[in-house]
Amino acid sequence: MVKPKIAPSMLSSDFANLAAEADRMLRYGADWLHMDIMVTFSSPEYLHLLILCSTYFENPMSAKGYMYDISYHFVPNLTIGAPVIESLRKHTAAYLDCHLMVTNPLDYVEPLGKAGASGFTFHVEAAKENWQELIQRIKSKGMRPGVALKPGTPIEEVYPLLEAKDPPEMVLVMTVQPGFGGQKFMPEMMDKVRAVRNKYPSLDIEVDGGLGPSTVDLASSAGANCIVAGSSVFGASYPAQVISQLRKSVQD
Ligand code: DX5
Ligand code: ZN
């Protein structure tokens, strides 16, 4: 049987007090701390392309929209990177469940491994060709590999990875468009959860986005056992109560 893992998303925490926020969540009963890693330019070529474009456009305002499109952000937001994981690791032994919303996850294996990440979940959309190497490198750095997919990506795209000799140990089904906390849960994503659960009874399946007491039953009955929850936990008057409700839904 798969174990419930309740993972508050630290994206909704007070970043200025990250260590205290992490302690608070662990005291309230969290199993994992979900760390949303979103960074900007992941390779010098992209930066070069951006510089070329910004010099090409005379009007900086018209250039702005275009630059945004070609800047290779995986999501339209910036959060934290390896230095923050490293600082937090000095304060806690907790499982740091890192969700990489980056264009080139391979670039972050080494720094995150050194920083003390526990799980390294990359997006299948960002690892079309090199996922085998990526998974091996993640494991060689002592981290647990996971694969995530955006709402628009069919579940079939993760099957070749799960069927490989060296498979990821978790599938993360996004239940909102990645990038921001506080969005509305997409129940239609539960078909993906059901499909993976049918094929892999003992795999960790994580759901991320819009989860809280009113949506968790849909996810847990579809077969999800790892529940990420940001705004529903951090925004609650009694976060411990929410965490225990989420856990109960998975256990029942
Ligand atoms: C969104 C992130 C989520 C987010 C979830 O891109 O991956 O982890 O923090 O936040 P809520 O639970 O508020 O939807
Ligand atoms: Zn996330």
Single pTM value for the model: 0.90
Q: How does pLDDT run across 175-231, given as a tens digit for each residue?
A: 999 999 999 999 999 999 999 999 999 999 999 999 999 999 999 999 999 999 999
The long-range contacts involving 48-52, CB below 8 angstroms and separated by at least 24 positions, are none
| pLDDT number for residue 1 | 77
117-128 confidence digits (pLDDT tens): 999 999 999 998
**DSSP track, 187-223:** GGGHHHHHHHHHH-TTSEEEEESS-STTTHHHHHHHT
Tokens of 69: 């499109």
CATH value of 5-39+78-251 in 1.10.1240.10, 3.40.50.300, 3.20.20.70, 3.40.630.30: 3.20.20.70
What integer is the mean pLDDT of 43-58? 54
Binding-site annotation: residue ranges for substrate: 9, 99, 179-182, 210, 230-231
Catalytic residues: 36, 208
* Band of residue 139 on the pLDDT scale cut at 50, 70, 90: very high
Q: Which residue shows structure tokens 């910036």?
A: 78
| Nearest alpha carbon, ligand 1 atom 9 | 181
The secondary element (H helix, E strand) that includes residue 37 is strand 32-38
Beta strands in 39-130 (DSSP E): 95-101, 119-123
**Mean pLDDT confidence for 95-121:** 96
Find the 137 Cα to ligand 1 centroid distance in Å: 26
For residue 97, the CA-to-ligand 2 centroid distance in Å is: 9
Q: Looking at the CA of 184, name the nearest ligand.
A: 1
Inform me whether the pLDDT recorded for 64 exceeds 50: no
User: Domain residue spans in the chain?
Assistant: 5-39+78-251, 43-76
Q: What is the mean pLDDT of residues 101-113?
A: 95
